[in-house]
Amino acid sequence: MNIELSRVPYEDKTVLYNLIQLYRYDSSEFDGHILNNHGLYVYRYFDHQWTDEYRRPLIVTVDGEIAGFVLVSLDIQQDYMKLSTAEKTNAISDFFIMRKYRRKGVGSTVADLLFNKFPGMWEVRQTAANQPAYLFWKQVLSKYSNNEVYQESFIDNEKWHGPVFVIEAKKED
C-alpha cells in the first residue's frame, strides 16, 4: 500500500471542500455540527487554508486514490493552553481518513509522515465525545513515541473542551 501526504493546491480546493463535507457528516454525532440551509456543513476557516502562511491543507492518497485529508497549523504561539515549555507548536486542526481505509494502518502511517515532515512540538486535540478518535491517537502516539513520554491533558475552557495530547516529533535520522 503506497500512502502519500501532499499539499492541496488552491486549484484543487473543491476536492478538499468535498472531503470536509464527508468529514463533518462523519463526525457530526460527536461535535454537533449542523447543515446550513443549503444542506452543507460550514467550515469557517476553509479559505484561510491557502491565505494564512501557517496553515497547511494536506491530502492523503492510498495507491493514488484519495483517502482523506489533514489540516495543520505550523509554528503557532501557545497562547492559551501552555501544555509544554515550547514557545511555538504545531497543531492538527482536522484529521480525516475515509472509512474504507480505517483499521488498515493508513491513519497511523499518515501521522508518522506528518510528524516526520514537520518535526517539533505537536498538539493533537479531540472533541470530548469522540472516543474513537481519542483511542486512535492514544495508540498512534504510544507507538510513535515507543511508549515513552507524551503529555495528555483535558482542557475545559472557552476555547476548547476535550483531550489534548502533546508530543515532540523528532526529525528522522
Distance CA(118)–CA(133), nearest Å, equals: 21
- Which superfamily is assigned to 3-169 in CATH? Gcn5-related N-acetyltransferase (GNAT) (3.40.630.30)
Average pLDDT over residues 17-30: 95
Of the listed ranges 64-68, 78-82, 103-107, the least confidently predicted one is 78-82
Residue 172 confidence (pLDDT): 64
Q: What is the pLDDT of residues 4-15, one digit of tens each?
A: 999 999 999 999
Q: Is there a contact between 103 and 125 (Cβ–Cβ < 8 Å)?
A: no
Ranked by mean pLDDT, the top range of 7-16, 115-124, 145-154 is 7-16
Look up residue 95 and give its amino acid.
F
3 state SS of 82: coil
Are the C-beta atoms of 107 and 144 separated by less than 8 Å?
Answer: no
